[in-house]
Amino acid sequence: MMNPFELINLSLTSSKARRAVIFFSRIKSRFWVGIGIHGSPFINIKESRRIGMSWEYSWTSNPSKVGLTTHTARLDLYSYECIHLFSESRMHDCMKWYEIIKPVLGCQIGHASVDNPKPSITDWLRSHQDSIGGISILEGDEENVKYLLKTIRVLGDLSLKISPRSYQLEFPEGLTRLEIDTAELINYDQLLRLKVRNINLRGSILTNQEINGFLKSWMSCESHLDLKSIEIDIPLSKAVNEIMDLPHEVTKIGYKIKRCDRKEANVTFGLWTRPYLYLSID
C-alpha cells in the first residue's frame, strides 16, 4: 500500500493519475492531518492521530535544511519522515500545498496549530471545514482569538499558550480537553461555567478559597457534571488544609471526595515544576 508521499508524487505525474488517486481516496480516507500555520509551518500526515508512521512536509527559508529527514524509534513503534522544502513565503506555501494534497489524500485537518490567528487564516481554515478536532493557539490578539473560536467549532482539544493578558474569552462547550498555559485567562466565575471533560490550568490565579469553592460546587452537583479530570496550579503547596476544608476521606494517595449523586473523585497534590492540585473522577 502506498504511503502519502508516494500517493502525492503519483498524483503530480499527470492529470489522469491525479484523477485516479482522488477517486480511490474518495472511497476510503486513510489519513489524519495536522497543520501548523506559524513561523515554522508544517503538514503532518498519519494513518491515525495515535503514535505510528508519520510523514511530514515543512517549509524553511534556510537552503541548507532542504531535504529528507528520517527517524525510527526503538522496536519500530514509531517512524518519521519529513521533506523540508525551501520557501520565501512559508505559511502561504504551506496553505497552498494543503489545497493541492487535500483531494489526493481525501482528508480533513484533524488539528491546527496557529500563531496569532489573523482573520485571513481563520477564514482559510473555515473555507475547508466548519469544525475541527483540535486547535493550539500559540499567541494572538484578543479579537483574533475570539474570531477564531467563534468561526470554527472545536470538537475535541483546545490548547492556549498565550502570553498573560487580561483577555475575556468564552470557551466552546463540549470540549474533550482544555489546556491553558497562562490560566490568568480564567477567573472563578468562568471556571464554574466551563463545560469541558478534561481541564489543565497552568499559571492559575485562583485563590485557595476559590479552588475550595470549585470542589464544593462539584460535590453539590452545581457545576461540571461531565468532568473527568482537572489539574490546577495552586498558590502554595502548604495550602492543602485550606483547599480541603470540606467533607473528605484521607487515602494513601491523597483525598477522596463524594458528589451528592454518590460519584467519587480522587484529589491529589503534587510539586513538579510548580505546586498543583489534580482531581480525577472515578
pLDDT in tens, the chain (282 residues): 789 999 999 999 999 999 999 998 887 778 999 999 999 999 999 987 666 789 999 999 999 999 998 887 665 667 889 999 999 999 999 999 999 999 999 999 999 999 989 999 999 999 999 999 999 999 888 899 999 999 999 999 999 988 766 678 889 888 999 999 887 888 999 999 999 999 999 988 899 999 999 999 999 999 999 999 999 999 876 789 999 999 999 999 999 999 999 999 999 999 877 889 999 998
> Under a CB-based contact definition with an 8 Å cutoff, are residues 109 and 99 in contact?
no
What distance in Å separates the CA atoms of residue 249 and residue 29, rounded to the nearest whole number? 50
Which amino acid is residue 252, in one-letter code?
Answer: K
What distance in Å separates the CA atoms of residue 129 and residue 54, rounded to the nearest whole number? 23
> What single-letter DSSP state applies at residue 152?
S
Which amino acid is residue 124, in one-letter code?
Answer: W
**First CA to last CA across the chain, in angstroms?**
42
What distance in Å separates the CA atoms of residue 162 and residue 203, rounded to the nearest whole number? 11
Residue 2, phi then psi, degrees to nearest 5:
-75, 145
Residue 238: enclosing H or E segment and its boundaries? none
